Protein backbone atom coordinates (compact mmCIF):
# COMPACT_ATOMS: atom_id res chain seq x y z
CA UNK A 1 0.00 0.00 0.00
CA UNK A 2 1.29 3.46 -0.90
CA UNK A 3 0.98 6.42 1.43
CA UNK A 4 0.95 10.05 0.39
CA UNK A 5 2.66 12.38 2.86
CA UNK A 6 -0.10 13.14 5.40
CA UNK A 7 -1.02 16.79 5.45
CA UNK A 8 1.40 17.69 2.68
CA UNK A 9 -1.28 19.45 0.64
CA UNK A 10 -3.47 20.94 3.38
CA UNK A 11 -3.45 24.26 5.19
CA UNK A 12 -0.99 24.50 8.08
CA UNK A 13 -3.79 24.80 10.65
CA UNK A 14 -5.59 21.71 9.42
CA UNK A 15 -4.92 18.20 10.75
CA UNK A 16 -3.87 15.58 8.21
CA UNK A 17 -6.91 14.41 6.27
CA UNK A 18 -6.43 10.95 4.80
CA UNK A 19 -9.00 8.99 2.85
CA UNK A 20 -8.84 5.31 2.05
CA UNK A 21 -9.87 5.37 -1.57
CA UNK A 22 -10.45 2.11 -3.38
CA UNK A 23 -8.01 2.92 -6.15
CA UNK A 24 -5.90 -0.20 -6.13
CA UNK A 25 -5.38 0.19 -2.36
CA UNK A 26 -3.74 3.61 -2.58
CA UNK A 27 -4.02 5.97 0.36
CA UNK A 28 -4.80 9.49 -0.85
CA UNK A 29 -4.62 12.70 1.17
CA UNK A 30 -7.33 15.30 0.76
CA UNK A 31 -5.84 18.10 -1.31
CA UNK A 32 -4.60 15.61 -3.92
CA UNK A 33 -5.25 16.37 -7.61
CA UNK A 34 -4.73 13.38 -9.91
CA UNK A 35 -5.27 12.55 -13.55
CA UNK A 36 -5.98 9.30 -15.34
CA UNK A 37 -6.16 8.30 -18.99
CA UNK A 38 -8.41 5.81 -20.75
CA UNK A 39 -9.29 4.81 -24.29
CA UNK A 40 -12.29 2.50 -23.87
CA UNK A 41 -15.68 2.54 -22.16
CA UNK A 42 -14.30 0.12 -19.56
CA UNK A 43 -11.28 2.35 -18.99
CA UNK A 44 -13.53 5.28 -18.10
CA UNK A 45 -15.03 3.23 -15.27
CA UNK A 46 -11.81 1.62 -13.96
CA UNK A 47 -11.00 4.39 -11.47
CA UNK A 48 -14.09 6.57 -11.75
CA UNK A 49 -16.52 4.06 -10.28
CA UNK A 50 -14.51 3.04 -7.18
CA UNK A 51 -13.55 6.68 -6.59
CA UNK A 52 -17.21 7.70 -6.43
CA UNK A 53 -18.43 4.59 -4.62
CA UNK A 54 -16.02 5.08 -1.74
CA UNK A 55 -16.85 8.79 -1.58
CA UNK A 56 -20.60 8.23 -1.48
CA UNK A 57 -20.23 5.51 1.14
CA UNK A 58 -17.99 7.77 3.25
CA UNK A 59 -20.57 10.58 3.13
CA UNK A 60 -18.40 12.89 1.02
CA UNK A 61 -19.99 15.45 -1.27
CA UNK A 62 -19.33 13.98 -4.73
CA UNK A 63 -19.22 16.07 -7.89
CA UNK A 64 -19.14 14.71 -11.44
CA UNK A 65 -18.25 17.05 -14.29
CA UNK A 66 -18.84 15.12 -17.49
CA UNK A 67 -20.81 15.00 -20.72
CA UNK A 68 -24.26 13.39 -20.60
CA UNK A 69 -22.82 10.31 -22.31
CA UNK A 70 -20.01 9.93 -19.76
CA UNK A 71 -22.39 10.64 -16.87
CA UNK A 72 -24.79 7.96 -18.09
CA UNK A 73 -21.95 5.43 -18.34
CA UNK A 74 -20.72 6.29 -14.83
CA UNK A 75 -24.24 5.98 -13.37
CA UNK A 76 -24.67 2.58 -14.99
CA UNK A 77 -21.30 1.50 -13.61
CA UNK A 78 -22.19 2.70 -10.12
CA UNK A 79 -25.43 0.69 -10.19
CA UNK A 80 -23.90 -2.42 -11.76
CA UNK A 81 -23.68 -5.09 -9.01
CA UNK A 82 -20.35 -6.30 -10.41
CA UNK A 83 -18.80 -2.80 -10.45
CA UNK A 84 -20.26 -0.24 -8.07
CA UNK A 85 -23.07 -2.15 -6.42
CA UNK A 86 -24.90 1.00 -5.30
CA UNK A 87 -28.64 1.43 -4.99
CA UNK A 88 -30.39 4.09 -7.08
CA UNK A 89 -31.16 6.29 -4.07
CA UNK A 90 -27.46 6.47 -3.20
CA UNK A 91 -26.86 8.36 -6.45
CA UNK A 92 -29.07 11.21 -5.21
CA UNK A 93 -25.99 12.60 -3.44
CA UNK A 94 -24.11 13.12 -6.72
CA UNK A 95 -23.90 16.68 -8.01
CA UNK A 96 -23.67 16.65 -11.80
CA UNK A 97 -22.35 19.35 -14.14
CA UNK A 98 -22.02 18.97 -17.92
CA UNK A 99 -18.92 21.14 -18.28
CA UNK A 100 -18.70 24.52 -19.95
CA UNK A 101 -17.30 26.33 -22.96
CA UNK A 102 -15.60 28.56 -20.38
CA UNK A 103 -13.81 26.18 -17.99
CA UNK A 104 -12.40 29.06 -15.93
CA UNK A 105 -15.97 30.01 -14.97
CA UNK A 106 -16.12 26.61 -13.24
CA UNK A 107 -13.60 27.86 -10.66
CA UNK A 108 -16.26 30.11 -9.11
CA UNK A 109 -18.82 27.30 -9.24
CA UNK A 110 -16.46 24.92 -7.44
CA UNK A 111 -15.46 27.57 -4.90
CA UNK A 112 -19.08 28.13 -3.91
CA UNK A 113 -19.80 24.40 -3.75
CA UNK A 114 -16.71 23.66 -1.65
CA UNK A 115 -17.49 26.53 0.72
CA UNK A 116 -21.03 25.20 1.27
CA UNK A 117 -19.86 21.66 1.91
CA UNK A 118 -17.02 22.79 4.18
CA UNK A 119 -19.51 24.77 6.26
CA UNK A 120 -21.46 21.52 6.68
CA UNK A 121 -18.31 19.70 7.79
CA UNK A 122 -18.20 17.55 4.66
CA UNK A 123 -15.21 16.55 2.57
CA UNK A 124 -15.52 16.61 -1.22
CA UNK A 125 -14.58 14.50 -4.21
CA UNK A 126 -14.49 15.68 -7.80
CA UNK A 127 -14.44 13.40 -10.81
CA UNK A 128 -13.95 15.32 -14.03
CA UNK A 129 -14.16 13.69 -17.46
CA UNK A 130 -12.28 16.44 -19.22
CA UNK A 131 -13.45 15.81 -22.78
CA UNK A 132 -16.75 17.41 -21.75
CA UNK A 133 -15.12 20.83 -21.97
CA UNK A 134 -13.99 20.19 -25.54
CA UNK A 135 -17.47 18.94 -26.41
CA UNK A 136 -18.91 22.17 -24.96
CA UNK A 137 -16.66 24.21 -27.26
CA UNK A 138 -13.72 25.06 -24.99
CA UNK A 139 -10.19 25.19 -26.36
CA UNK A 140 -7.49 22.92 -25.00
CA UNK A 141 -5.67 26.05 -23.79
CA UNK A 142 -8.72 26.99 -21.71
CA UNK A 143 -8.94 23.46 -20.28
CA UNK A 144 -5.27 23.49 -19.28
CA UNK A 145 -5.56 27.00 -17.81
CA UNK A 146 -8.46 25.75 -15.68
CA UNK A 147 -6.46 22.69 -14.60
CA UNK A 148 -3.46 24.80 -13.61
CA UNK A 149 -5.50 27.32 -11.60
CA UNK A 150 -7.57 24.60 -9.94
CA UNK A 151 -4.38 22.72 -9.02
CA UNK A 152 -2.70 25.77 -7.50
CA UNK A 153 -5.83 27.01 -5.74
CA UNK A 154 -9.03 25.15 -4.91
CA UNK A 155 -7.46 21.68 -4.90
CA UNK A 156 -5.16 22.79 -2.06
CA UNK A 157 -7.50 25.08 -0.14
CA UNK A 158 -10.27 22.61 0.62
CA UNK A 159 -10.68 19.03 1.86
CA UNK A 160 -11.20 17.74 -1.67
CA UNK A 161 -9.90 14.76 -3.64
CA UNK A 162 -9.84 15.44 -7.36
CA UNK A 163 -9.52 12.94 -10.20
CA UNK A 164 -9.49 14.28 -13.76
CA UNK A 165 -9.97 11.67 -16.45
CA UNK A 166 -8.80 12.15 -20.02
CA UNK A 167 -10.11 10.13 -22.94
CA UNK A 168 -6.81 9.74 -24.80
CA UNK A 169 -8.73 9.45 -28.08
CA UNK A 170 -9.83 13.09 -27.72
CA UNK A 171 -6.43 14.59 -26.82
CA UNK A 172 -3.14 14.65 -28.69
CA UNK A 173 0.09 13.33 -27.20
CA UNK A 174 1.29 16.90 -26.60
CA UNK A 175 -1.97 17.68 -24.79
CA UNK A 176 -1.66 14.56 -22.63
CA UNK A 177 1.83 15.63 -21.54
CA UNK A 178 0.51 19.13 -20.79
CA UNK A 179 -2.29 17.62 -18.70
CA UNK A 180 0.22 15.57 -16.72
CA UNK A 181 2.13 18.76 -15.91
CA UNK A 182 -1.02 20.11 -14.23
CA UNK A 183 -1.30 16.99 -12.03
CA UNK A 184 2.09 16.58 -10.36
CA UNK A 185 0.47 14.59 -7.51
CA UNK A 186 -0.01 11.73 -9.97
CA UNK A 187 3.74 11.13 -10.00
CA UNK A 188 3.68 10.16 -6.32
CA UNK A 189 2.21 6.83 -7.46
CA UNK A 190 3.07 4.31 -10.17
CA UNK A 191 1.74 5.92 -13.34
CA UNK A 192 0.48 2.56 -14.60
CA UNK A 193 -2.31 2.75 -12.02
CA UNK A 194 -3.74 5.75 -13.87
CA UNK A 195 -3.64 4.25 -17.36
CA UNK A 196 -6.89 2.49 -18.20
CA UNK A 197 -7.62 0.28 -21.16
Using one digit for the tens of pLDDT, what is the confidence trace for 26-48? 788 899 999 999 999 999 999 99
In angstroms, what CA-CA distances link 58 with 34, 153, 166?
A: 20, 24, 25
Q: Which of 7-11, 19-23, 35-39 has the lowest mean pLDDT?
A: 7-11
pTM: 0.87
In DSSP terms, which residues pair with 129 in a beta bridge? 165
Cα–Cα dist 65/95, whole Å: 8
Chain length of the chain = 197
Look at residues 156, 148, 163 and name the one whose alpha carbon lies nearest to residue 193: 163
> pLDDT by residue (tens digit) across 89-132?
999 889 999 999 999 999 999 999 999 999 999 999 999 999 99
% of the chain surpassing 90 pLDDT? 78
Name the DSSP letter for residue 121: T
pLDDT greater than 70 at residue 139: yes
For CA atoms 157, 192, 22, 37, the dihedral sign is positive
- What DSSP assignment string belongs to 123-162? -EEEEEETHHHHHTT--HHHHHHHHHHHHHTHHHHSSEEE
At 9, is the pLDDT very low, low, confident or very high (cuts 50, 70, 90)?
very low
pLDDT greater than 90 at residue 67: yes
Cα–Cα dist 45/38, whole Å: 9
- The predicted structure's pLDDT at residue 20: 52
Amino acid sequence: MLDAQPGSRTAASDPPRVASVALEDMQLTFGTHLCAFYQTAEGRLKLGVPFLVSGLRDGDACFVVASPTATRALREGLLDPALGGLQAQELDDLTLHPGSADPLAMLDWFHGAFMRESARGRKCRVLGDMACFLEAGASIDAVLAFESRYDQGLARQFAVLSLCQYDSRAFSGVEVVAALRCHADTFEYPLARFLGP
